Amino acid sequence: DAGVTQSPTHLIKTRGQQVTLRCSPKSGHDTVSWYQQALGQGPQFIFQYYEEEERQRGNFPDRFSGHQFPNYSSELNVNALLLGDSALYLCASSVGVGRGNTIYFGEGSWLTVV
């Protein structure tokens, strides 16, 4: 049973560019959330997708956008990259959107903006 898979694992982008990160949820999961983990900090919630719609959003600018596909996989897009966007981006999946549902994380995509 595959867990949450993310790609790419590492990438380097130049300030001002755009990036797309991809995520496949754990088998049987229909909800995908994205988190940003800066060095030395805990993960911070970006947004959550369920039934192909953004259901919840954290305190991130609209440079951060996403998409969920019919097969429940998801993409995170970041436009106009800033140096401060350098972080580990985590995808997490769960079943449904209940507050108590256990969330499973992928290994993340390391983004470095230079």
Nearest to other proteins of 34, 113 (CB atom):
34
Q: Least distance (Å) from other proteins to the CB of residue 4?
A: 8
CB of 15 to other proteins, least distance (A): 27
Torsions phi, psi for 33 (to 5 deg): -120, 150
- Closer to other proteins by CB, 71 or 102: give it: 102
Provide the binding-site residues for other proteins, judged by CB under 8 A: 3-4, 33, 35, 40-45, 48, 55-58, 90, 97-100, 102-108
The smaller minimum CB distance to other proteins, of residues 20 and 44, is found at 44
The span from the CA of 103 to the CA of 12, in Å, is 28
Closest separation in Å from C-beta 107 to other proteins: 4
CB 47, min distance to other proteins, A: 8
Q: How far apart are CA 21 and CA 73, in angstroms?
A: 11
User: Nearest to residue 6, comparing CAs of 53, 67, 76?
Assistant: 76
Angle at 60 between CA 71 and CA 56, to 5 degrees: 45
Q: How far is CA 46 from the centre of its chain?
A: 7
